[in-house]
């Protein structure tokens, strides 16, 4: 079973057709000149499986009478109808040209035309007509081809992720391989077909074995037939078979998507030649956007910038753009040579890029798939290889294990506003099923595997403990809500026994939702969602001494002493590819906004900030990273800029508006709306306002300005950027002191929401 057998099957059919052709020719008394039989489609390529149709074209030059031609065709085909499935057409050369012009399927079949018997010159002429017309009208024909593929994919689904896929019709299947051949033959772009040679051979072998074991001409790999096909092909079990099928389909789909992208880029480049040099924008360190692709600077030294791969992936996903194939090749070859490998543990920048990638939602799927296909992800996360295309042959799951985890991350990205630690949610979502693939309970095994992985990626120990709980108990809430009596106190106690605080509970609840939604309607429903939500409410009520709100920062004795001078002081320390900045300043309305504006216009990105007012002074600690090509920053420079802003902040606002306008020209992905929450009973002397939003330039300046415009005083602020998400907790009071009334607090919250939209 294999290519040789399929070729021999085609040769056998050729010999049989040749004998029938000679017999029919003898009975009709006609000359072979101007009369021929050609194989088209799969038969033309010599790829006959046991149940394949014989796709043949009978060509004549119009020299036969209608009755003679009919008799010839009948004599030729009659013996075939008893034991072969034949798809035939009878045309002249002119009729063949006309049929190809009006029917894409005919045109595609003719690209593989091959002489079986008769007039070789006639078939050669038709072959020349077909290829010439295909290339001449490639723009129109490829547009038709793409539309037809889209319709077929919607109808047949994705081969890599279906429980019972059609290996020919589904996305990533054999018809898509034929489409890639057709695109290559058009000459519109180079298609590296060698990249899918293994996939083509594998899918053809599976189709052949399916025909052989089922005894029928069908291409859908039904669940009950997978074991027989696996045995026929020498696999240990059906899971191993379906894993290879999924991997083959993903390789085909990846190349097809890349090819369509390349075609689009070539069209744009051709148009750009008549206009001007394509624009190139710097979007991150050593990264550009060119022709709507993320491009890594080819001169970059990966030894000095080992995080560039993750930065490219995160930037591409956040902007909704692909990474150029040349950049993937640069990364892949460099990593394979051991260049630019990440240190253990990862630096904070690398971890945040990973979280930004995971949190990009739908646009992360194609980036993550490319990292998988180019085998880049395994250099960063070797644990992923064991999960690659790992099947889940049960009725609940729609996807392989790895794709299910990616889909769970996509759903989690839409829920980041519901939690206070979006980074932990996103990381746990992507790896919650890491323990699958062995006989051991996957939740128990997952807890054991996730700890070392999270440690290597650079999470602190307290976060690792939370991640381990999320992975080990990701099924806990769903299982408890649907199988236990929620009115029984023992049920609530069983959750309290393993979930230590509200932060972990809200993360586990949100992970349950994302996991359920990614599983599909068979695994998640409104009924189950309601039960889980009810359970969580009961656990929250029973859980005491926990809070999800960030506590006010503490001021050290040294800082208090420095604040007594009443002078503006700025101390700067370089760390982790950025700076730690301590600012001690006389307190004044709008201080947070002013300092945030200075930091932003100094081309520094805020990663975290802690501020607290004490008497007439304020103590601030900022952790920042410089933007690409930003000049070095000194404490003296920052102090000077802050003093200028104290006297007149209008130039800060103008710079931020200009910066926002510049960023507006760069594409961005859809993100959840910001959330502003008010807590009036969590602090004795202040009202807490919490803002959860997607990070963007000038965000903290806008928030601070909104508070100042509301004539409210910020007593403390805790600012945290986690990947591409920002959580800002503000302890505010009236200018005269004391917390805000509920009405005033809601007014401030509404103002902030308006400013952030």
- Chain segment 669-704, per-residue pLDDT in tens: 888 999 999 998 877 789 999 999 999 888 898 898
Q: What is the per-residue DSSP string for 539-588?
A: HHHH--S---SPPPPP--HHHHHHHTT---EEEEEEETTEEEEEEEEE--
- Among 103-107, 282-286, 662-666, 697-701, the range with the most confident prediction by mean pLDDT is 103-107
In this prediction, residue 520 carries a pLDDT of: 79
Interval 288-303: pLDDT, tens: 998 889 999 988 888 8
In this prediction, residue 509 carries a pLDDT of: 97
Cβ-contact 123, 40 below 8 angstroms: no
**Domain with 203 in it:** 139-273
Residues 104 and 55 in one domain: yes
C-alpha to C-alpha distances, 690 to 670, 700, 730, 737, nearest whole angstrom: 22, 12, 6, 19
609 pLDDT above the threshold of 70: yes
Q: What is the mean predicted confidence (pLDDT) over 493-507? A: 95
In this prediction, residue 536 carries a pLDDT of: 96
In this prediction, residue 697 carries a pLDDT of: 82
269 pLDDT above the threshold of 60: no
Side-chain-side CA neighbours of residue 662 (13 Å): 11
More confident residue, 439 or 478: 478
270 pLDDT above the threshold of 60: no
> Among 141, 146, 170, 133, which Cα is nearest to 259's?
146
Task: State the chain's mean pLDDT as an integer.
Answer: 90
CATH of the domain at 48: 3.30.460.10
699 in any annotated domain: yes
Residues 50 and 118 in one domain: yes
Residues 156 and 125 in one domain: no
Confidence of residue 458 (pLDDT cuts 50, 70, 90): very high
Residue 693 burial (10 A CB sphere; 0-12, 13-18, 19+): buried
Q: Pull the structure tokens for residue 170.
A: 């589904």
Q: How many residues does the chain have?
A: 757
370 in any annotated domain: no
In this prediction, residue 137 carries a pLDDT of: 95
**Of 250, 273, 296, at which residue does a domain stop?**
273
Helix, strand or coil for residue 403?
helix
In this prediction, residue 658 carries a pLDDT of: 78
287 in any annotated domain: no
Q: Which residues pair with 38 in a beta bridge?
A: 57, 115
In this prediction, residue 205 carries a pLDDT of: 95
Residues 537 and 637 in one domain: no
**Of 85, 101, 136, at which residue does a domain stop?**
136
* Cβ-defined contacts of 475-484 (< 8 Å, 24+): 475/443, 475/512, 475/515, 476/508, 477/508, 477/509, 477/512, 477/532, 477/535, 477/536, 478/512, 478/515, 478/516, 478/528, 478/532, 480/535, 481/528, 481/531, 481/532, 481/534, 481/535, 482/528, 482/531
In this prediction, residue 33 carries a pLDDT of: 82
What's the structural domain count of the chain? 4
368 in any annotated domain: no
> Among 541, 532, 445, which Cα is nearest to 496's?
541
274 pLDDT above the threshold of 50: no
Helix, strand or coil for residue 198?
helix
221 pLDDT above the threshold of 80: yes
Interval 626-665: pLDDT, tens: 988 888 899 999 999 999 998 888 888 888 877 777 676 6
Q: Pull the structure tokens for residue 176.
A: 């898509």
Q: What HEC string does 27-38 produce? A: HHCCCCCCEEEE
Residues 531 and 396 in one domain: yes
Q: What is the mean predicted confidence (pLDDT) over 40-58? A: 91
Q: Pull the structure tokens for residue 594.
A: 């002013």
Contacts of 445 (CB under 8 A, 6+ apart): 435, 438
Neighbours of 333 (CB within 10 A): 11
Interval 200-219: pLDDT, tens: 999 999 999 999 999 888 89
31 pLDDT above the threshold of 80: no
CATH of the domain at 183: 1.20.120.330
Confidence of residue 268 (pLDDT cuts 50, 70, 90): low
In this prediction, residue 82 carries a pLDDT of: 72
351 in any annotated domain: no
Question: Where does residue 614 fall: left (phi above 0), alpha (psi -120 to 50 degrees), or beta otherwise?
Answer: beta
In this prediction, residue 399 carries a pLDDT of: 80
In this prediction, residue 275 carries a pLDDT of: 43
In this prediction, residue 113 carries a pLDDT of: 96
| Residue given tokens 């930037």 in the structure block | 315
Side-chain-side CA neighbours of residue 366 (13 Å): 19
Residues 652 and 579 in one domain: yes
In this prediction, residue 641 carries a pLDDT of: 93
Q: Which of 441-455, 512-526, 538-552 has the lowest mean pLDDT?
A: 538-552
Interval 325-344: pLDDT, tens: 889 999 999 999 888 889 99
Interval 557-597: pLDDT, tens: 899 888 888 899 999 998 878 899 999 999 988 899 999 99
Residues 110 and 156 in one domain: no
- Residue 344 Cα to chain centre, angstroms: 25
Beta strands in 248-378 (DSSP E): 280-284, 287-290, 293-296
CATH of the domain at 537: 1.10.3210
Residues 581 and 709 in one domain: yes
- Residue 283 Cα to chain centre, angstroms: 20
356 pLDDT above the threshold of 90: yes
78 in any annotated domain: yes
303 in any annotated domain: no
Residues 542 and 583 in one domain: no
In angstroms, the CA 50 to CA 44 distance is: 15
Confidence of residue 273 (pLDDT cuts 50, 70, 90): very low
Residues 406 and 531 in one domain: yes
In this prediction, residue 222 carries a pLDDT of: 92
Residues 576 and 686 in one domain: yes
**Of 273, 295, 320, at which residue does a domain stop?**
273
336 in any annotated domain: no
In this prediction, residue 447 carries a pLDDT of: 97
Residues 131 and 153 in one domain: no
Confidence of residue 397 (pLDDT cuts 50, 70, 90): low
């Amino acid at each position: 079973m294999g290519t040789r057998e399929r070729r021999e099957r085609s040769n056998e059919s050729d010999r049989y057709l040749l004998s029938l052709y000679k017999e029919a020719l003898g009975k009709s008394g006609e000359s072979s000149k101007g009369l021929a039989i050609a194989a088209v489609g799969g038969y033309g390529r010599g790829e006959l499986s046991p149940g394949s149709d014989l796709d043949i074209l009978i060509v004549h030059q119009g020299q036969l009478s209608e009755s003679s031609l009919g008799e010839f065709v009948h004599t030729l085909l009659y013996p075939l109808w008893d034991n072969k499935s034949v798809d035939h057409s009878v045309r002249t050369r002119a009729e063949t040209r006309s049929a190809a012009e009006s029917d894409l399927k005919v045109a595609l079949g003719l690209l593989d035309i091959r002489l079986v018997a008769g007039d070789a010159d006639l078939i050669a002429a038709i072959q020349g007509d077909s290829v010439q017309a295909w290339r001449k009208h490639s723009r129109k024909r490829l547009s038709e081809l793409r539309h037809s593929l889209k319709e077929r994919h919607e109808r047949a689904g994705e081969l890599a992720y279906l429980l019972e896929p059609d290996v020919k019709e589904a996305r990533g299947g054999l018809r898509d391989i034929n489409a890639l051949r057709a695109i290559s033959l058009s000459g519109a772009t180079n298609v590296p077909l060698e990249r899918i040679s293994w996939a083509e051979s594998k899918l053809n072998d599976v189709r052949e074995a399916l025909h052989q074991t089922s005894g029928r001409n069908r291409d859908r790999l039904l669940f009950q037939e997978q074991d027989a096909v696996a045995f026929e092909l020498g696999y240990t079990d059906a899971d191993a078979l379906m894993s290879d099928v999924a991997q083959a389909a993903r390789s085909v789909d990846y190349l097809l998507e890349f090819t369509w992208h390349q075609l689009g880029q070539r069209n744009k480049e051709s148009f750009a030649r008549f206009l001007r040099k394509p624009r190139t924008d710097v979007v991150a360190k050593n990264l550009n956007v060119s022709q709507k692709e993320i491009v890594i600077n080819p001169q970059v030294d990966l030894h000095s910038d080992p995080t560039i791969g993750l930065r490219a992936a995160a930037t591409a996903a956040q902007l909704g753009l692909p990474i150029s194939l040349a950049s993937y090749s640069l990364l892949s070859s460099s990593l394979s040579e051991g260049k630019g490998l990440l240190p253990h543990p990862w630096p904070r920048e690398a971890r945040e890029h990973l979280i930004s990638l995971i949190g990009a939602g739908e646009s992360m799927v194609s980036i993550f798939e490319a990292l998988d296909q180019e085998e880049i992800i395994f250099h960063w996360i070797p644990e992923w290889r064991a999960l690659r295309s790992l099947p889940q042959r049960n009725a609940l799951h729609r996807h392989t294990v790895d794709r299910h985890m990616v889909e769970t991350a996509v759903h989690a990205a839409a829920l980041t506003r519901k939690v206070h630690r979006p980074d932990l949610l996103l990381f746990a979502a992507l790896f919650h099923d890491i323990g699958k693939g062995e006989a051991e309970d996957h939740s128990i095994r997952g807890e054991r595997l996730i700890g070392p992985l999270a440690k290597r990626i650079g999470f602190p120990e307290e976060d690792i403990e939370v991640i381990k709980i999320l992975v080990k108990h990701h099924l806990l809430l769903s299982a408890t809500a649907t199988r236990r009596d929620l009115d029984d106190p023992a049920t609530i106690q069983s959750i309290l026994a393993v979930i230590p605080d509200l932060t972990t509970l809200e993360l586990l609840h949100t992970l349950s939702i994302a996991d359920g939604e990614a599983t599909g309607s068979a695994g998640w429903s409104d009924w189950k969602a309601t039960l889980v939500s009810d359970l969580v409410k009961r656990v929250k009520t029973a859980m005491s001494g926990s809070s999800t709100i960030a506590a006010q920062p503490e001021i050290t004795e040294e800082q208090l002493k420095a604040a007594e001078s009443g002078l503006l002081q700025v101390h700067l320390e370089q760390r982790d590819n950025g700076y730690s900045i301590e600012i001690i300043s006389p307190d004044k309305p709008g201080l947070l906004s002013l300092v945030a504006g200075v930091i932003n216009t100094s081309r520094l990105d805020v990663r975290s900030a802690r501020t607290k007012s004490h008497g007439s002074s304020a103590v601030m600690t900022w952790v920042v990273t410089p933007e690409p090509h930003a000049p070095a920053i000194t404490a003296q420079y920052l102090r000077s800029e802050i003093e200028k802003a104290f006297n007149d902040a209008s130039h800060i606002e103008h710079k931020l508006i200009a910066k926002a306008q510049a960023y507006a020209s760069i594409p961005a992905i859809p993100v959840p709306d910001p959330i502003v929450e008010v807590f009036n009973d969590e602090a004795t002397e202040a009202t807490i306002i919490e803002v959860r939003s997607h990070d963007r330039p000038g965000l903290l300046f806008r928030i601070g300005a909104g508070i100042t415009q509301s004539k409210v005083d910020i007593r403390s602020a805790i600012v945290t950027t986690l990947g591409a998400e920002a959580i800002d907790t503000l302890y505010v009071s009236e200018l005269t002191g004391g917390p805000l009334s509920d009405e005033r607090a809601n007014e401030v919250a509404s103002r902030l929401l308006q400013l952030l939209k």
